[in-house]
A and B are shown apart, each in its own frame.
Chain A
Amino acid sequence: LAKTTQPISMDSYEGQEVNITCSHNNIATNDYITWYQQFPSQGPRFIIQGYKTKVTNEVASLFIPADRKSSTLSLPRVSLSDTAVYYCLVGISSGSARQLTFGSGTQLTVLP
């Protein structure tokens, strides 16, 4: 199965906007894209979900182009407490099969 790929790590300063992109070339036709945040020794926590275009909630925005082969999580004005690993989760198609697949994860470090 084709994988979903993300940058391994990113650094940012407090107060900046951070954009993390996930590539998913073989996303299943009807699947939504979801993003999660994970702190050490904890289970992932849901951030946002979307199917196409732009979605915004109280903590993040999600941008999805028309071809849906990638998605970008945008975190406005990050703080030190946003230091975590961020994952995308999508359904990936391979022939007639569909497999729910997490991205490799992006370690975001927010610096003071």
Chain B
Amino acid sequence: NAGVTQTPKFRVLKTGQSMTLLCAQDMNHEYMYWYRQDPGMGLRLIHYSVGEGTTAKGEVPDGYNVSRLKKQNFLLGLESAAPSQTSVYFCASRPTASYEQYFGPGTRLTVT
């Protein structure tokens, strides 16, 4: 089991560019989450999904879109990157029967 993987690990964008972050899990989990963590701060929930084809907003959804077309994948999109979106992005998943979330290694994004 690879667990939760994230692609890419690092990325530098210019203001206004777009990109998609990919999260994949091989544990057949129903729930998936995208968080951001700013330097020295805690994690904040961007969007989440409770199953294939569903998405919902978290605490800080503005400027991001998500899609869950396949159960194992959760995509996070930035349509027009801004310097305020410079952060480390973590994906997580969990099964229905537990509140234990499994986290990926993170994607470090810098927007200049």
Question: A43 contacts which chain B residues (CB < 8 A)?
Answer: 4, 90, 92, 103-106
Question: B99 contacts which chain A residues (CB < 8 A)?
Answer: 31-32, 34, 49
Minimal Cβ-Cβ distance residue in A for B104: A43
Chain A residues numbered 57-104 whose CB sits less than 8 Å from any CB in chain B: 87, 89, 99-104
B58 pairs with A45, CB closer than 8 A = no
Chain B residues numbered 72-112 whose CB sits less than 8 Å from any CB in chain A: 90, 92, 98-106
**Interface-central residue, B43, B90, B106, by most chain A CB under 10 Å:** B43
A15: Cβ under 8 A from any B Cβ: no
B103 pairs with A44, CB closer than 8 A = yes
Question: B59 contacts which chain A residues (CB < 8 A)?
Answer: 1, 99-101
A87 pairs with B42, CB closer than 8 A = yes
Chain B residues numbered 43-90 whose CB sits less than 8 Å from any CB in chain A: 43-45, 48, 58-59, 90
B105 pairs with A105, CB closer than 8 A = no
Minimal Cβ-Cβ distance residue in A for B45: A100
Question: B103 contacts which chain A residues (CB < 8 A)?
Answer: 43-45
**Per-residue 0/1 for B23-39: is the Cβ within 8 Å of any A Cβ (1 yes, 0 no)?**
00000000001010000
**Per-residue 0/1 for A23-57: is the Cβ within 8 Å of any B Cβ (1 yes, 0 no)?**
00000000110101000011111100100000000
Q: A1-B59, A43-B90, A43-B92 are in contact. Are A103 and B102 (CB under 8 A)?
A: no
Task: Please give the residue numbers on chain B whose beta carbons come within 8 Å of chain A beta carbons, in ascending order.
Answer: 4, 33, 35, 41-45, 48, 58-59, 90, 92, 98-106
Task: Please give the residue numbers on chain A whose beta carbons come within 8 Å of chain B beta carbons, in ascending order.
Answer: 1, 31-32, 34, 36, 41-46, 49, 87, 89, 99-105
**Told that A32-B99, A34-B99, A100-B33 touch, could you supply 11 new A-B pairs with CB distance under 8 A?**
A41-B106, A43-B104, A43-B106, A44-B43, A45-B103, A46-B101, A87-B43, A99-B58, A101-B45, A102-B43, A105-B41
What are 11 residue pairs bridging A and B, where the CB atoms are less than 8 Å apart in the complex? A34-B99, A34-B100, A43-B104, A43-B105, A49-B99, A89-B101, A99-B59, A100-B59, A102-B35, A102-B43, A102-B45
